[in-house]
C-alpha cells in the first residue's frame, strides 16, 4: 500500500496541470560493460525507459532494468537479475537569471531486485536540485546537482552485518559539450556521504561513494543514439584511507551503449 501511495503522489503532482494527453516516449537501452582487470565489472544491461511529458513544467519517468552478470560475487546469486523499478518526477519552473536555469527531480525506487529485498530496503526517496547554465554559444552545458536521499529500511544492517545507510547527502557535476550537430562529449562526477543508524554489532565507520563517467555520444539517427565511455565507481573509504581515483584497474570499466526511441 505504501508503494501505491508513493506512486500516486508522483502521478498527482505531474497530472494536476494536465487536461489532455501529452507526449509519451519509450526508449530501449542496451549497454555492454567490460572490466579492465576484473570480470566482476563486466556485464550486460538492458533498460526500458518510459517518459510521459505532462506539461512544460512536469515530466514523469519510469525506468526498469535487467542485468546479465559474468562473474557472480555471491554463491547462489543468479546471473540474470532484475533491477529495482525507479520512478521520477521532473519539475522545470521556468526560472532563469543571467542564463542560469533552476529545475528539480524527485524519485524513489520500488524493491523489485532480489538484493534490495534481501537487505530489507523498502524504498529510497530522493530529491535533486539542478542549477544549469550554457556557455560558448549554447554549445557547453554546465549543471551542478546537489541531492538528498533517504532510505526506508526494515533493518539497520544487511544479513552479513554491514550497516545500511539511513540517508545520503551529496552533489554532482554534469558537463556536456556539443562538438558537431550529431557529436557530443559528456562528463559527470557524483559523490555522496552516508549517515548510518546505530548498530549494536560491529564498529562504527564513515561511509560514502563516488562515480565518474566520461562518454562520447553520437546521434546515428533521429531515434538512435550511440554511446562509448568509461565509468569508475567505488567507495571513498578503504582501510582507513580516503581516496578518489579517476582510474582503478579493479573497478574501472568501459562500455558501449545504444538508445532506441520508439
Taking only Cα atoms into account, the Rg of the chain, rounded to an integer number of angstroms, comes to 19
Mean pLDDT of 182-210: 81
How far is 208 from 169, CA to CA, in rounded Å?
A: 9
CA 20 to chain centre: 30
Query: CA–CA distance from 37 to each of 42, 117, 233, 253 (Å)?
Result: 10, 30, 15, 9
Q: Per-residue pLDDT tens for 139-188?
A: 999 999 999 999 998 887 777 777 788 899 999 999 999 999 899 999 99
Annotation: CATH topology of 2-261:
Porin (2.40.160)
Q: Does residue 2 register a pLDDT over 70?
A: no
Reading the block at residue 208, the C-alpha cell is 560514502
Reading the block at residue 17, the C-alpha cell is 496541470
Q: Please report the pLDDT score of residue 189 as a whole number.
A: 95
CA 123 to chain centre: 14
Helix (H) or strand (E) holding 117: helix 114-119
Query: CA–CA distance from 129 to each of 91, 105, 114, 195 (Å)?
Result: 10, 6, 30, 20
pLDDT: which is higher, 137 or 197: 137
Q: Does residue 208 register a pLDDT over 80?
A: yes
Q: Does residue 48 register a pLDDT over 50?
A: yes
Mention every residue, 6+ apart, whose C-beta is less than 8 A from residue 24. 50, 51, 52, 53
With a pLDDT cut of 90, the percent of the chain lying above it is 52
Contact 141, 176 (CB under 8 A): yes
How far is 154 from 134, CA to CA, in rounded Å?
A: 43
Q: Please report the pLDDT score of residue 235 as a whole number.
A: 82
pTM, rounded to two decimals: 0.82
Mean pLDDT, the chain, whole residue set: 84
How far is 35 from 257, CA to CA, in rounded Å?
A: 15
pLDDT: which is higher, 255 or 252: 255
What is the residue extent of each domain of the chain?
Answer: 2-261
3-class secondary structure, 102: strand
How far is 241 from 254, CA to CA, in rounded Å?
A: 26
How far is 245 from 242, CA to CA, in rounded Å?
A: 10
Amino acid at each position: 500500500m505504501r508503494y501505491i501511495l508513493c506512486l500516486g503522489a508522483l502521478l498527482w503532482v505531474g497530472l494536476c496541470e494536465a487536461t489532455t494527453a501529452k507526449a509519451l516516449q519509450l526508449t530501449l537501452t542496451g549497454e555492454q560493460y567490460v572490466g579492465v582487470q576484473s570480470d566482476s565489472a563486466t556485464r550486460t544491461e538492458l533498460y526500458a525507459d518510459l517518459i510521459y511529458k505532462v506539461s512544460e513544467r512536469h515530466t514523469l519517468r519510469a525506468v526498469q532494468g535487467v542485468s546479465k552478470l559474468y562473474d557472480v560475487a555471491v554463491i547462489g546469486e543468479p546471473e540474470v537479475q532484475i533491477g529495482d523499478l525507479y520512478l521520477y518526477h521532473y519539475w522545470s519552473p521556468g526560472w532563469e537569471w543571467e542564463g542560469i536555469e533552476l529545475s528539480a527531480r524527485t524519485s524513489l525506487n520500488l524493491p523489485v531486485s532480489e538484493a534490495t529485498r534481501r537487505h530489507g530496503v523498502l524504498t529510497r526517496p530522493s530529491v535533486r536540485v539542478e542549477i544549469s547554465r550554457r556557455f560558448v554559444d549554447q554549445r557547453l552545458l554546465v549543471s551542478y546537482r546537489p541531492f538528498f536521499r533517504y532510505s526506508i529500511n526494515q533493518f539497520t544492517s544487511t544479513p552479513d552485518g554491514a550497516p545500511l545507510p539511513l540517508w545520503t547527502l551529496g552533489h554532482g557535476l554534469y558537463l556536456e559539450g556539443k562538438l558537431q550537430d550529431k557529436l557530443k562529449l559528456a562528463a559527470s562526477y557524483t559523490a555522496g556521504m552516508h549517515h548510518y543508524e546505530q548498530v549494536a554489532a560491529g564498529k562504527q565507520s564513515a561511509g560514502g561513494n563516488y562515480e565518474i563517467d566520461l562518454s562520447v555520444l553520437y546521434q546515428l539517427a533521429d531515434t538512435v543514439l550511440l554511446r562509448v565511455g568509461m565509468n569508475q565507481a567505488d567507495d571513498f573509504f578503504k582501510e582507513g584511507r580516503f581516496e578518489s581515483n579517476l582510474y582503478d584497474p579493479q573497478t574501472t570499466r568501459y562500455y558501449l551503449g545504444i538508445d532506441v526511441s520508439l
